[in-house]
């Protein structure tokens, strides 16, 4: 999406900061995922944690995606948005009793179990309800995702999943619990992974694990490879559709499986990141001793990724075509980490200019907070221009 693709006239009339979603791009993205998974008979789930805006959820559900949830709130949101309960999976290391009950009452597909004590509680709650809960074991395969440490999940030192040495014991334990049915294994090694070799390494590791368990007589009908496919934050217009083709092909080519084994995927970022933009207004240009600051009316309360993960987001001044200048782009929050970008070249900015912070559809709006008693940002959609 270039400057020209934003309805700037309309933007100028509404209160900033806000999120703007390009629904045509979302449609193109969802269609691509459906086409690629259909080639191989894979099942696609959307990881709700990436963006739980109800309008987006309904839209994604309408394409027949399943949902990956990590809290009772997300399970409720998935059900309300119309996701098929038979395609909802529920992961997370700390599921509270009420969350387990919500999921059981909603009739979800399965729980991705991360510890023996958790399995015992799901077993007890399911028993009290006279139900049987389907579970997959989340395995920590100790495969390095080569991504930011704060979004790496598949190393032995991470809190997620069951370590390989403990897997046979945990399988035995779960099989002994009468209200649980063990149907598969779940893996998720991290996020923002753009190197396909990492996913190849995951496939190799999963093959080893599955073969070893099969030789001990244990087979599984479901393998869930989690999410993690990354996007191009540097050049969102060049790669507005992530590498779905290459990604799903890696699994088709590398996972050894018999015909009755179903492969599941739960992508979040790759589905919603590129269609979302945070629009913010320049409040002040402050000329410091050594820096020029563009002070925006959005801060890490609206988009925390740069402050939390040193993440790069492409930024454009969408109301100026003047010659470029160099700015530190900062927010109004009273914390020195409230910086979106340092030394960024942008069209010369003045008070009132609109800035677009691109690729913000994933882990943007959903991670917004009210710190400093700020107001949560509103969202607008390209296919509903009247609401803008």
Binding string, residues 72-91; x marks residues near ligand LLP by CB under 6 A: -------------------x
Rounded Cα gap, residues 249 and 381, in angstroms? 32
Q: How many residues bind ligand LLP (CB under 6 A)?
A: 21
Rounded Cα gap, residues 160 and 86, in angstroms? 24
**Crossing angle for the helix pair 54-61 and 23-40, nearest 10 degrees?**
40
Identify which range of 27-35, 224-232, 324-332, 373-381 contacts ligand LLP by CB under 6 A: 224-232
Tokens of 196: 């396909």
By the rule CB under 6 A, 122 interacts with ligand LLP: no
Rounded Cα gap, residues 22 and 382, in angstroms? 5
- Report the residue number, 29 or 191, with the smaller CB distance to ligand LLP: 191
- Report the residue number, 68 or 74, with the smaller CB distance to ligand LLP: 68
Tokens of 3: 């400057």
Q: What is the largest CA-CA distance in the chain?
A: 70
- Report the residue number, 266 or 297, with the smaller CB distance to ligand LLP: 266
- Report the residue number, 43 or 192, with the smaller CB distance to ligand LLP: 192
- Report the residue number, 57 or 91, with the smaller CB distance to ligand LLP: 91
Least distance between ligand LLP and beta carbon 94 (Å): 13
Distances (CA, A) of 286 to 70, 335, 345: 42, 17, 16
Dihedral pair phi/psi, residue 327, rounded to 5°: -135, 150
Within residues 230-259, the interface with ligand LLP by CB under 6 A covers none
Residue among 369, 282, 376, 361 at smallest CA distance from 329: 282
Paired strand residues for 267: 46
Identify which range of 188-196, 289-297, 350-358, 376-384 contacts ligand LLP by CB under 6 A: 188-196
Rounded Cα gap, residues 27 and 39, in angstroms? 19
The vertex-127 CA angle with 121 and 130, nearest 5°, equals 145
Selected from 59, 87, 205, 305, the binder of ligand LLP by CB under 6 A is 305
Instruction: Give the nearest residue (CB) to ligand LLP.
Output: 227
Least distance between ligand LLP and beta carbon 287 (Å): 32
Selected from 1, 50, 298, 379, the binder of ligand LLP by CB under 6 A is 50
By the rule CB under 6 A, 47 interacts with ligand LLP: yes
By the rule CB under 6 A, 268 interacts with ligand LLP: yes
196: burial class by Cβ within 10 Å (0-12, 13-18, 19+)? middle
CA atoms within 13 A on the CB side of 305: 25
3-state secondary structure at position 354 = strand
By the rule CB under 6 A, 22 interacts with ligand LLP: no
Selected from 87, 95, 264, 269, the binder of ligand LLP by CB under 6 A is 269
- Report the residue number, 17 or 228, with the smaller CB distance to ligand LLP: 228
* Site of interaction with ligand LLP (CB under 6 A): 47, 49-50, 68, 91, 151, 188, 191-192, 226-229, 266-270, 305, 309, 363
């Amino acid at each position: 999406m270039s400057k020209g693709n934003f309805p700037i006239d309309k933007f100028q009339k509404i209160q900033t900061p806000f999120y703007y979603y390009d629904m045509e791009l979302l449609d193109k993205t969802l269609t691509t995922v459906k086409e690629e998974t259909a080639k191989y008979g894979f099942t696609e789930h959307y990881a709700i944690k990436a963006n739980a805006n109800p309008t987006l959820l309904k839209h994604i559900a309408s394409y027949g995606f399943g949902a990956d949830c990590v809290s009772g709130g997300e399970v409720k949101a998935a059900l309300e948005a119309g996701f098929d309960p038979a395609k909802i999976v529920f992961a997370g290391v700390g599921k509270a009793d009420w969350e387990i009950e919500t999921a059981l009452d909603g009739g979800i597909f399965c729980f991705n179990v991360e510890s023996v004590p958790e399995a015992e509680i799901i077993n007890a709650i399911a028993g009290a309800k006279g139900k049987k809960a389907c579970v997959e074991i989340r395995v920590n395969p100790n495969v390095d995702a080569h991504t930011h440490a704060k979004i790496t999940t598949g190393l032995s030192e991470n809190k997620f999943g069951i370590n390989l040495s403990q897997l046979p014991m945990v399988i035995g334990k779960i099989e002994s619990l009468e209200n649980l049915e063990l149907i598969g294994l779940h893996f998720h090694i991290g996020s923002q992974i753009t190197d396909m070799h990492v996913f190849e390494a995951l496939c190799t590791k999963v093959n080893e694990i599955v073969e070893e368990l099969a030789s001990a007589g244990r087979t599984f009908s479901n393998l869930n490879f989690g999410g993690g496919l990354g996007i191009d934050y540097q050049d969102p217009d060049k790669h507005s559709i992530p590498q779905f083709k290459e990604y799903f092909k890696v699994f088709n080519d590398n996972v050894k499986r018999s015909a009755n084994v179903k492969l599941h995927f739960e992508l979040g970022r790759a589905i919603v990141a590129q269609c979302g933009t945070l629009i913010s207004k320049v409040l002040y240009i402050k000329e410091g001793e050594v820096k020029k600051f563009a002070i925006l009316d959005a801060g890490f309360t609206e988009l925390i990724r740069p402050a939390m993960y040193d993440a790069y987001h492409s930024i454009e001044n969408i109301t100026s075509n003047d010659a470029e200048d160099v700015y530190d782009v900062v927010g109004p929050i009273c914390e020195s980490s409230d910086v979106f970008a340092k030394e960024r070249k942008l069209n010369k900015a003045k008070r009132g200019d609109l800035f677009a912070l691109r690729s913000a559809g994933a882990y943007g709006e959903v991670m917004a907070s009210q710190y400093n008693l700020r107001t949560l940002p509103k969202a607008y959609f390209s296919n509903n221009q009247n609401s803008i």
